[in-house]
Structure 1
Amino acid sequence: MSTDPGTVLDAIRDGIMRGEFVPDQRLVEADLSERFSASRSSVRSALLQLANEGLVERVQNRGARVRAVSLAEAIEISEVRMVVEGLCAAKAAERVGPAEARELRELGERMSEAVASGDVLGYSAANQALHRRIRELSGQSTAGGVLERLRAQLVRHQFRLAMQRGRPAVSLGEHLAIIDAICAGDPEAAERAARRHLLGVIEALRARQE
């Protein structure tokens, strides 16, 4: 067994986020140990950490399973994201330079091209890259860590939203507004744009409840 605990943790987390492990699926230590060439103790430690992150739940006498996030909980998580994403966008606007602005605009162009060509997966990847880059640019490492954990819990709902007809086009306009405000160095406008985008996500999730 050669895989270190951190690598096992990342591998299982990535599997959950990519949908290789689906909600309510049992995560059997022996199977994961064999799959990732890792010790049972490394797998057990990884599952405990993922439980702390909200991605896994441990059921008494039944081991661990991928935690299913309800639509109502997804809305609550998005409401928290709205506040924290707004903070990160504002801080990014305070710290942005010419090179960073070019990078953000290039991501915006990638998203626009993906929407124009109907490339939903390409749009989703560029979307994630943009949010990640804004978090990095903000310099808010604590907020960034919170958002990473929240995003991981929402991955299934985000994918379903991305697949809704017309949703990427709506989302694109919201993201381009965030980029414009950050590149203009306007923290208040950046925060408003980020919160407006997450409000759109929340409204789309609520529409699925009806």
Structure 2
Amino acid sequence: MSKEARPGSGEQAKQYALEHLRQAILRGEMAPAQRLVENELAEQYGVTRASIRAALLDLASEGLVERIRNRGSRVRVVTVEEAVEITECRMALEGLCAAQAAVRATDEQLDELAELGRAMAKAVANGDPVCYSDLNHQLHTHIREFSGQQTAVGLLERLNAQLVRHRFQLALRPGRPQQSLNEHLAVIEAIRARDPQAAESAVRAHLRSVIDALRED
């Protein structure tokens, strides 16, 4: 979008700034602890400082930004221990979603999961951890959507947004994608077998493995 086409003020401008800031943080373009200077961001996105300030308040409520008294805002730093706690919460919610997906997913959706599993295996075989990390994220997103559990989906979106940096670090760790692949294939197999208990157990086993990996940092 050109600068001329950008909304300068009002709710539309806040939403524009909010989406672009959120994506910049999620993609790692803004580093943890990086200061977020309202004047600079307003100029960069072609909106008012008030729009930037409102967007930063929303991002703070999502856990992506922290506001420091008398010092403005910065990208929130998520410690390893916080990441472990978030993953423990994910364990309960993602286990629920996997169990529900095993019951509710259509045959076509089950085929989509199988295709994702094949793509993940190919990414690991090709030694492409960035592609694998993206497919990993897609798999979890599909399972949540197929579950039909909208409350859990909303909660998980907020929790997962805070883990982006840790997720990429794990994906790049030697040997981690190979281990993670087997765990994800077990989840897919259980859901495709329409076995909710096995699906929940497989997700919990995978996330316990994630917690162990986080604690190795």
User: In which range does the TM-score fall when normalised by the shorter chain?
Assistant: over 0.9
Structure 1 residue corresponding to 2:109, chosen from 97, 100, 118: 100
Counterpart-to-counterpart distance in 2, 1:186 and 1:39: 52
1:2 maps to which residue? 7
TM (normalized to structure 1)?
A: 0.96
Structure 2 residue corresponding to 1:36, chosen from 14, 22, 45: 45
TM (normalized to structure 2)?
A: 0.93
1:115 maps to which residue? 124
2:142 maps to which residue? 133
Counterpart-to-counterpart distance in 1, 2:211 and 2:180: 12
3-state SS in 1 of match to 2:194: coil
Q: Deviations over 1:57-95 (max 9, x none)?
A: 001111100010111111111111111110110111110
**Deviation for aligned residue 1:2:** 1.1
Counterpart-to-counterpart distance in 1, 2:47 and 2:136: 33
- What runs of 5+ residues in structure 1 fail to find an aligned partner? none
**Deviation for aligned residue 1:54:** 0.8
2:28 maps to which residue? 19
- What runs of 5+ residues in structure 2 fail to find an aligned partner? 1-5
Counterpart-to-counterpart distance in 2, 1:8 and 1:187: 41
CA contact (8 A) 2:7 2:16 kept: no
2:57 maps to which residue? 48
**Deviation for aligned residue 1:96:** 1.3
CA RMSD of aligned residues (A): 1.0
Q: Deviations over 1:157-194 (max 9, x none)?
A: 11111111100000000101111111111111110001
Residue 183, structure 1, aligned to residue 188, structure 2: no
Counterpart-to-counterpart distance in 1, 2:154 and 2:195: 24
Residue 170, structure 1, aligned to residue 175, structure 2: no
**Deviation for aligned residue 1:137:** 0.6
**Pairs within 5 Å for 1:150-169:** 150-169=159-178
3-state SS in 1 of match to 2:173: coil
Identity of aligned residues (%): 56
Structure 2 residue corresponding to 1:148, chosen from 154, 157, 163: 157
Counterpart-to-counterpart distance in 2, 1:24 and 1:187: 40
**Deviation for aligned residue 1:39:** 2.0
